[in-house]
Amino acid sequence: MKLLRPLALALAAILAVGLAGCGSDDDAAGTSGSAVSAERCDDNKAAGTVTYLSGYYWQASASILEVIAADRLGYFKDLCLDVKLQPGSGDVSQNTKLLASGRAQVGGLSQQDTMTANANGQRITGISSYSDAGLDILMTMPSVTDLAQLRGKTLGQKGWVPVGVSAMLDKAGLGADDVKQVKVGYDPTILPRGQVDALVGFISNEPLQLEAAGTPVKVWEPKDFGVPGSLGAFAANPDFLAKHPTAAQDFLRAVFRAYQYCAQDAHVEECLGYQHDQAGADSDPKHETAVWKKETEVVAGSPLPGKFGSIDVANVKALAGVVSQFGGQQVAPDEAAGWFDDSFSDAVVGDDGKVIWPAP
């Protein structure tokens, strides 16, 4: 059973479509080809169905929610794009295989995962990112004031420790053998119950769950230790990019516009309504809203040095060092930079940081 949005929101969405011709930055158009020239429309149609693969089902995360919203707001239609939304299971290796094989054309994928895929011979191209800050974090109880206190303690992880967290521990003077790693499930309450002394998680997930349950924890972010990361990144199949460059650009154009729309407080409830409709009964409205607000907060707090949605080459090269040291893959910085292409994102955002709409 799908969750229904309030009638007022539905009416608001209809009104937004009706006002599309007024030129507002926040309008929501829905007329096929209304934001693109006839020639560019034909080029985009020639791409056929563009399959988008989410990182983890329909969670309200950056690189997922705004794609859902772009579809529901009619932005893809405005640009003559036929986009199919396909949920990913959270299995990064499976997602990279689908992108590399061309069974999906675009997907949400961190820059470090894009590097690992290419190092393993799976050719995919990173085309955008919202921030150099990552989502991977480490949690402890508030009594821990220095990560060095974890020496000899137990760290809970879900099969691996993310490279960013490993790099952060290294900067704190802790090697892999200085903490006892144990594989745990997905219940974050094992931390306040004392079953582990530290717990790997995502800044927009476990800490929010524990806070909602009345148990705040100390969150340790790799970015605060100078460790590079990425948030809200997209990657694509290289053949798709080469054969259909305008479709790739306009996919990002629609998605970036939807992100900037949905990041505004006035539109959060509306956009979460689209996510609830897409996810159905699996969606927890309160938690998903908290996820989206936290991730957009991180993006706003750690913006890229260049254009919105672009790729920070210096960050990519720094990440290559982290992946090489902690990810089990030797990645040369210059080689890693060649696995990313910011021409698609840069083409759709002006120098003022706003999405260029309609398409030139």
Phi, psi values for residue 86, rounded to 5°: -125, 125
The stretch 153-167 carries a mean pLDDT of 96
Residue 4 has pLDDT above 70, yes or no: no
CA distance 163 to 281: 33
Local confidence band at 31 (pLDDT 50, 70, 90 cut-offs): confident
Whether 107 and 55 have beta carbons less than 8 Å apart is answered as: yes
Q: Which residue shows structure tokens 């952060």?
A: 168
* Residue scoring higher pLDDT (6 or 259): 259
* Percentage of the chain modeled with pLDDT above 70: 92
The stretch 245-252 carries a mean pLDDT of 98
In the beta sheet, which residues pair with residue 10? Answer: none
For residue 11, the model assigns a pLDDT of 31
The stretch 56-79 carries a mean pLDDT of 98
| Domain locations in the chain as residue ranges | 7-132+230-346, 136-225
pLDDT in tens, 94-128: 999 999 999 999 999 999 999 999 999 999 999 99
Q: Which of 35-49, 231-245, 280-294 has the lowest mean pLDDT?
A: 280-294
E-strand stretches of 129-197: 136-140, 154-157, 180-183
- What pairing do the DSSP bridges indicate for beta strands 234-236 and 180-183? unpaired
Residue 3 has pLDDT above 60, yes or no: no
Q: To which CATH superfamily is domain 7-132+230-346 assigned? A: Periplasmic binding protein-like II (3.40.190.10)
For residue 6, the model assigns a pLDDT of 36
Local confidence band at 193 (pLDDT 50, 70, 90 cut-offs): very high
The stretch 175-184 carries a mean pLDDT of 95
Residue 202 has pLDDT above 70, yes or no: yes
Average pLDDT over the chain reads 92
For residue 234, the model assigns a pLDDT of 98
CA distance 138 to 144: 12
Q: Which of 90, 99, 134 is nearest to 120 (CA)?
A: 99
Residue 5 has pLDDT above 60, yes or no: no
pLDDT in tens, 292-311: 999 999 999 999 999 999 99
The stretch 58-63 carries a mean pLDDT of 97
Local confidence band at 32 (pLDDT 50, 70, 90 cut-offs): confident
For residue 176, the model assigns a pLDDT of 86
Identical fold, 7-132+230-346 and 136-225: yes
For residue 281, the model assigns a pLDDT of 87
For residue 30, the model assigns a pLDDT of 61
Residue 16 has pLDDT above 90, yes or no: no
Reported pTM = 0.90
328-358: b (≥16 Cβ within 10 Å) or e: ebebeeeebbebbbbebbbbbbeeeeebebe
CATH 3.40.190.10 fits 136-225, yes or no: yes
Count of C-beta atoms within a 10 Å radius of residue 287 = 16
